[in-house]
Amino acid sequence: MPAPTTSPELRLLRPEHAPALRAFEEANRAYFAATVPDRGDAYFRDFDARHAALLAEQAEGICYFHVLVDADGEVLGRVNLVDVAGGSAELGYRIAERATGRGLATRAVREACDLAVSAYGLSELRAATTLDNPGSRTVLTRTGFVPTGEIVLDGRPGTSFVLTL
């Protein structure tokens, strides 16, 4: 009988996630760059300092960074709530190429929305995606986000969304 499979867990970013998070970003760099701006070489060169800065922002309650990790500690995705102010935050997420198509993004975004209310006291989330990223648009609509307008993201047409929690 095969061993039971455990679902990946959404966890608040911690210092010990740094190696797995860096591996996730490096392994998926080209995949992510097809739909969102590339983080650039400086992101990887200065990764440790950037990770420490994210943890400091999180400690101040400015942002909440989450990683979706499997049973082996591999990062399969990220779901972040940034620019927290006035009961609102911006949602951002990315899932590893090898983990797409399994509903992980939808599940992780739903869980982050629940945390936004129960753990962080938020009442609204905003998000945006480009028109050429149908997967992201699907995740947002499946999780209750409502389109609020047309925008331009990095020179590409997109849509802004909002979710009242």
**pLDDT higher than 70, residue 81:** yes
Q: Residue 150 carries which side chain, given as an amino acid letter?
A: E
- Residues with Cβ within 8 Å of 96's Cβ and at least 6 positions away in sequence, in order, are 24, 27, 28, 31, 75, 76, 77
Q: What is the structure's pLDDT at 2?
A: 44
Q: What is the structure's pLDDT at 36?
A: 83
What is the average per-residue pLDDT within 140-161?
95
Q: What is the structure's pLDDT at 94?
A: 96
Summarised one tens digit per residue, pLDDT across range 49-60 is 999 999 999 999
Summarised one tens digit per residue, pLDDT across range 89-129 is 999 999 999 999 999 999 999 999 999 999 999 999 999 99
- For residue 67, the SS3 value is strand
What is the average per-residue pLDDT within 133-151?
96
Comparing 42 with 4, which gets the higher pLDDT?
A: 42
Domains of the chain, CATH where assigned: 9-164 (3.40.630.30)
Q: Which residue in this structure is represented by tokens 């209310």?
A: 117
Q: What is the structure's pLDDT at 3?
A: 45
CA dist 101 and 44 (Å) reads: 27
Backbone CA torsion sign across 152, 84, 119, 65: positive
Average pLDDT, the chain: 94
Q: In degrees rounded to 5, what are phi and psi of residue 161? A: -135, 160
Count of Cβ atoms closer than 10 Å to residue 63 Cβ:
20
pLDDT range class, residue 37, cuts 50, 70, 90: confident
Q: What is the structure's pLDDT at 5?
A: 55
**pLDDT higher than 80, residue 6:** no
Q: Measured at the alpha carbon of residue 42, what is the angle toward residues 37 and 47, in degrees to the nearest 5?
A: 100
Q: Measured at the alpha carbon of residue 32, what is the angle toward residues 28 and 34, in degrees to the nearest 5?
A: 130
